[in-house]
Structure 1
Amino acid sequence: MSRKTKPEDPATKNAHAAIAFISNHPIFSPLAARAHISRQEDNPYPPNGWAIVTHNGRIYLHPKRRGETSEWIYVLAHCLLHLGLGHFKVKQQERQHYWNAACDVYVARFLHDLKIGTPPADMETRFELPVKDEQQLYTYLLERGLPPSLNFAGTAGPSASDMDYTEKKTSFYYYDKDPDWEAYLAKGLANAVTKAVSVAGGHLDSITSESASLTAAVRAKRWFIDHYPLLGALAAGFKIVEDAQICQRLDISIAAINILDRIIYMNPAAGLTDDETLFVMAHELLHAGLQHHERCMGRDHYLWNIACDYVINLWLVEMKIGEYPRVGLMLDPELRGLNAESIYDRMVADIRVYRKLATLRGNGLGDILDQGSSGLRDNREGQSLDDFCRNAMQQGLIYHEEQSRGYLPSGLVEEIRALGQPPIKWDVELARWFDQYFTPLEKKRTYSRVSRRQSSTPDIPRPQWVDSGSAEDGRTFGVILDTSGSMDKKLLAKCLGAIASYAAARDVPLARIIFCDAAPYDAGYMSPDLISDRVQVKGRGGTILQPAIDLLEHAEDFPKNGPILIITDGECDRLRIKRDHAYLLPKGKHLPFYPKGPVFRID
């Protein structure tokens, strides 16, 4: 009968897994290969701690200590850094415990920055001490004393030193000369930098992996990083996932992008060539770089995705990046020169047709994964995703132009540069709209009114500048306020305040105010002072704005060239307007038709 092997207990299994991880880590592998890690009961392990390290390169682990793999990784890295940082080269001093504590604090700060492993719960790793180097910290502790928290900084337990100088020298090396631990740590750091560059270039999946298969998607990512600066920085910041099962679960037929998690999904079953893969990856990267997730602004996700695809595909064909996949993607030369917002406004007028189109993800699905969010925005804390995409595209454009790497459409260049400019506030745009219709009044000098600025010489008559009264004739505009129940009172107050201030600044004496919900309520002409003071809102019923527009257009006391401002939340039917007009909408709202006048979105 065969003897059954005793199963490995969880504590031993976790410790062995940590040893294997440290032995394969690029930073610690040169040190671990020359150290002697032991976990035996007859070793001089610390009874109340995790491990100790000796001056000759032995690390003794507690054989009965239970810990997670990440905790053992932290302990082993801590001990190896004592060797690699040359802490044993310092001669024994009168207060060795102080030197050990200073080294423990320095190693804890090093591992915190490196973000490797998990500190055990009984070890203190957060210190508010000036950490420049071990020697200065040691001097600081001698002068100020040893804080109680430093008794728990090492891996040997409370008030115990994890650096052992007492063990006699034993020869377990192949050479008589002791290893140069500091040189091995330097070699490990150089290895880590080399692998980090390989990860950024797509050669490796992570710094702890040995190799990665260079699939078409990986080769495309490497090509952008090496040869195409415009998208190289973005490509380096996204992870490529090529898993047919994951793509099937997410209903991804060819490709999709998760901008929030910085992942590009490429379905290996799509059968794309290398040139087609370049086109598809550039397509997804431009979704992120042009901030299409942020510019959705409450629009229908799928229709907005289709509009962005039209713009991107036209640009990529002009830029001659890869080969256009023959899978029925959106490519309409008639839309050349339009931005995504303009194309979206056209699409909403005929939603039934555009609902049948397909993206790289498939029919009826957008290749910008929204994860069920309402605005495609990242609400998590941390680095700003929009800043990352914006900076990557702007730096890539600079490198692309400096190195003359190829043709870029003017529309793409303008859009990238526009990302670096802050958006114009709605009230500034409204002020510009007022300037188009109400030029400054001409003033004239008259002796009928004496200028009071010359009161020091009242015997000398001086003319005063006054406005010509005839210039104010017909100087007015109409305001239609949507007073339905869905309109916010604060929004109405903000709009009326802005309108009143701009009207007063441009010498508009009166404005025609009409409230409208299911029926129009004519408030007549009101001066800017009355508008900004207090206005009694009437209605608060349904939303039918056309009767108010008809009332203004047919009113005999309203000038034919007088412009109209319409304040609404977008929940209205198609409007028929024959004169100049503009819309004030809340941010994130959209009209259910293509607007012929400017739209100001209120923050």
Structure 2
Amino acid sequence: MHESARADDPSPSWYSDRLHHQPVELHYAPYRVATPEHWAYVIAHCHLHLVFGHLVPGRKSPEWEIACDLFVACWMNDIVIGRPPDEYPVTLPRSVRDVDEFYRELVRDGVRPEFEGYGFAGSRPDFETSDRFEPKIWQEMFVERIEKSAFETLKSTAEKYHDVPAYSLSTRARLARDWFVNRFPMLGSLAAAFKIIEDEAICTRLGIEVAAISSMTKEIYFNPKVPMTENEYRFVMAHELLHVGLRHEVRQQGRDAYLWNVACDYVINHWLVEMNVGEMPRFGVLFDLTLKGMSAEAIYDLIVANLRRFRRSRTFRNEKLGDILDSNPDFWDYVEGRNLDQFYRDCLRNGLKYHEESCRGLLPAGLVEEIRALALPPIPWDVELGHWFDDHFEPLEKRRTYARMSRRQSATPDIPRPALFVPQVLLDQRTFGVVLDTSGSMDRMLLGKALGAIASYATARDVPRVRVVFCDAMPYDAGFMDVNEIAASVKVRGRGGTVLQPGISMLEAAEDFPKDAPILIITDGATDHFKVRREHAFLMPQGRKLPFKPAGPVFWVR
């Protein structure tokens, strides 16, 4: 609401409202000299016109203005706000409960002489509006503030006198959560597992404008400053629960966290609109009919190609951060028993099963497909690496030779038997290159895991030696090394960041390195753009990404 002084009206006015669209302008008389109690009464009178819905487009008759003024005056007389100005009548009509009924009574019987000209704008009406004005918004904000005030009073009283925790009291967010538990089984178990946080200070500190969720702490955050109806709370809560249930933070896989969150928001909001879960908030959400039916991965690729269009997209958190708060989605790897990842998958999968068995209605096909895909456990990175080795190194067929005898059977020690062997020529051809980033940003523990997996898989597939190139400030060709000796030769040094292209070019140009041998690149992604002209793959820490789109497969080491 904007306030300004008006000195161009000589009439003895206090203020007037002008509402041409949604911003409300309050014009007050600067020459008026009055006590703070008088001004409090007048300004509150003005605001109550707004929240009671008196500014109805098309109603401009004097009877309507007087009816509204007397209705507000009676209401303020009951709750005692400030002190009415001395020039206005102290004796008010009977208590006015219905302004429309009182207006019809004034039209039918006429206005009593003592109430003619009653108002605070002098010769002009107290309020003016246009046909585009929406009074319902201000009424809902008023109701929201009354509810919040009542809740804060109950909260302080309960904590002070009855030792009742504040989170046990009902708010619209908790009523929305109860609705999911009682009426919507697909998300009911997930909703019951999360604690609702409605703290303005916490939301301000975390940069949460509307809502956000943390799967690590099992908490959903709602900013109490944002007025929302219960149906809008249902929409936002379902949105946040689906983020966790569909494991979006795990599926990020090195993508930009904010843009990935935006892509997931488009998918989730389409499903919620199709299912008619709650009501889309009035302040707007990420919703585009042209993206209907697309997966989050496909939408992400579209966003990356059109950054100008999507860069300022606003999530429920803000326009710079996603509403999934966790920075480390793999914290549960070290938790004993059933981890949280499995817990969230089971909640959504069992909720879908109960939803279908109890005939609760149809669901979007894309949502059902993604939930059922959660039943399939993700393939570990080391298993994927083993498949990569299988694709490039077929099992060798061993031959028998009498050049080296096998162990004789105890029953016939005098009969020689040939031993199995692999020709050395075939073993010499079985090799691959390893370009190893040894800068200071590399995690030693993850590096040890990666090199240990490489050694075990190479040994199992009869790969005796590996061509190794270490890259830091400059590349260093270590030549062919035994697979079990690589880890002992690695020394992580430097300050982070390296250039891998010279090392890759050196390996590709080596005359003693087979032309069809693949290359395995181990890095943390803190490098410049580079090109690889032969078959290759990447080993990278979980959550990191390359500065370009990789042509070969990427194995994320956790």
TM range (shorter): 0.5 to 0.7
1:234-271 Cα offsets, whole Å, 9 max, x none, are 23344667899997897655544455363352768566
Distance 2:450 2:159 in 1: 58
Shift of 1:467: 2.4
Post-superposition CA distance 1:354-383 (Å, at most 9, x none): 431111344224334x3xx7547889x999
TM-score in terms of structure 1 length: 0.54
In the alignment, structure 1 residue 263 sits paired with structure 2 residue 193: no
**Is residue 465 from structure 1 mapped to residue 401 from structure 2 by the alignment?**
no
Q: C-alpha distance in 2, partners of 1:509/1:246?
A: 57
2:75 counterpart residue number: none
Q: Which runs of 5+ in 2 are unaligned?
A: 1-157
User: Amino acid of the residue matched to residue 476 of structure 1?
Assistant: T
Aligned: 1:359 with 2:319: no
TM-score scaled by length of structure 2: 0.58
Matches within 5 A, 1:41-52: none
Rounded to whole Å, the distance in 2 between the matches of 1:293 and 1:522 is: 38
**Residue number in structure 2 paired with 1:594:** 549
User: Who is 2:242 aligned against?
Assistant: 286
Contact 2:228 2:281 in 1 (8 A): no
Deviation by residue 1:515-547 (Cα, 9 ceiling, x = unmatched): 112322112222334436x42659747500011
Equivalent-residue separation in structure 1 for 2:478 and 2:410 (angstroms)? 44
Count residues with an aligned counterpart: 396
Q: Report the alpha carbon displacement of residue 483 of structure 1 after superposing the two structures with TM.
A: 1.7
Over the aligned positions, Cα root-mean-square deviation in angstroms equals: 4.6
State how 1:401-412 maps to structure 2 within 5 Å: 401-408=356-363, 412=367
Match among 430, 436, 439 for residue 475 of structure 1: 430
In structure 1, give the amino acid aligned to 2:395. P
Question: Are the counterparts in 2 of residues 348 and 592 from structure 1 also a CA contact under 8 Å?
Answer: no
Pair 1:513-2:468 in alignment: yes
- 1:235 maps to which residue? 191
Mapped partners of 1:117, 1:324: distance in 2: 34
2:489 alignment partner, one of 532, 535, 546: 535
Out of 522, 527, 534, the residue aligned to residue 579 of structure 1 is 534
- Letter of the 1:263 counterpart: I
- Aligned residue identity for 2:547: P
Q: Determine whether 1:398 maps to 2:353.
A: yes
Task: Flag the 1:320–1:597 CA change in 2: closer, same or farther, 3 A.
Answer: farther
- Tell me the CA shift for residue 444 of structure 1: 2.9
> Structure 1 pair 335/448, CA: closer, same or farther in 2 (3 Å)?
farther
* SS of equivalent residue, structure 1 residue 454: coil
How far, CA to CA, are the matches of 1:268 and 1:537 in structure 2? 53
Question: Which residue of the partner structure matches residue 146 of structure 1?
Answer: none
Q: Which amino acid aligns with 1:225?
A: V
Alignment of structure 1 residues 254-403 onto 2, 5 Å = 254-257=210-213, 260=217, 262-265=219-222, 274=231, 278-292=234-248, 301-317=257-273, 319=275, 321=277, 327-331=284-288, 338-339=295-296, 354-368=310-324, 370=325, 374-375=327-328, 389-403=344-358
User: How many angstroms apart in 2 are the aligned matches of 1:252 and 1:400?
Assistant: 32
Residue 499 of structure 2 corresponds to residue 544 of structure 1: yes
Which stretch of structure 1 is more off in the superposition, 263-272 or 573-582? 263-272
Q: Call closer, same or farther: CA 1:554–1:321 in 2, change over 3 Å.
A: farther
Instruction: Describe the shift of the 1:70–1:516 C-alpha distance in structure 2 as closer, same or farther (beyond 3 A).
Output: closer
Q: Deviations over 1:125-155 (max 9, x none)?
A: xxxxxxxxxxxxxxxxxxxxxxxxxxxxxxx
Deviation at 1:349, TM superposition (A): 7.7
**Kept after mapping to 2: 8 A contact 1:566/1:582:** yes
1:458 Cα deviation after fit: 4.0
Q: Is the contact between residue 293 and residue 366 of structure 2 (CA under 8 Å) also seen in structure 1?
A: no
Q: Give the whole-Å Cα distance in 2 for the aligned partners of 1:567 and 1:321.
A: 46
Task: Give the fraction of aligned pairs with identical amino acids, expressed as a percent.
Answer: 53
Matched, 1:565 2:520: yes
Deviations 1:565-596 (A, max 9, x none): 11112211122223222211233433233333
Amino acid in the other structure paired with 2:312: K
Confirm or deny: 8 A CA contact 1:242 1:268 kept in the other structure: no
Post-superposition Cα deviations, 1:141-179, rounded to whole Å, max 9, x if no partner, equal: xxxxxxxxxxxxxxxxxxxxxxxxxxxxxxxxxxxxxxx
Aligned pairs (5 A) from 1:86-165: none
Distance 2:225 2:477 in 1: 64
1:464 aligned counterpart, secondary structure: strand
CA distance in 2, matches of 1:377, 1:453: 53
- Cα separation, 1, equivalents of 2:509 and 2:179: 64
Q: Trace 1:446-461 onto structure 2 (pairs within 5 A).
A: 446-454=401-409, 456-461=411-416
Equivalent residues of 2:291, 2:299 under 8 A apart? no
SS in 2 for 1:364: coil
Q: 1:234 to 1:555 in 2, by over 3 A?
A: same
Task: Give me the whole-angstrom Cα distance separating, in 1, the residues matched to 2:492 and 2:241.
Answer: 50
Could you list the per-position Cα deviations for residues 296-329 of structure 1 after superposition, in whole angstroms to 9, with x for gaps in the alignment? 6897653443243234234445655456568251
Deviations 1:418-440 (A, max 9, x none): 65666544333322221121121
How many Å separate the matches in 2 of 1:361 and 1:408? 27
Amino acid aligned to 1:289: G
Q: Which moved more, 1:256-265 or 1:481-490?
A: 256-265
Shift of residue 598, structure 1, vs aligned partner: 2.4
Distance 1:576 1:321, change over 3 A: farther
Unaligned runs of 5+ in 1: 1-68, 74-115, 119-203
Q: Structure 1 CA distance, aligned partners of 2:368 and 2:208?
A: 30
- Cα distance in 2 for partners of 1:262, 1:538 equals 39
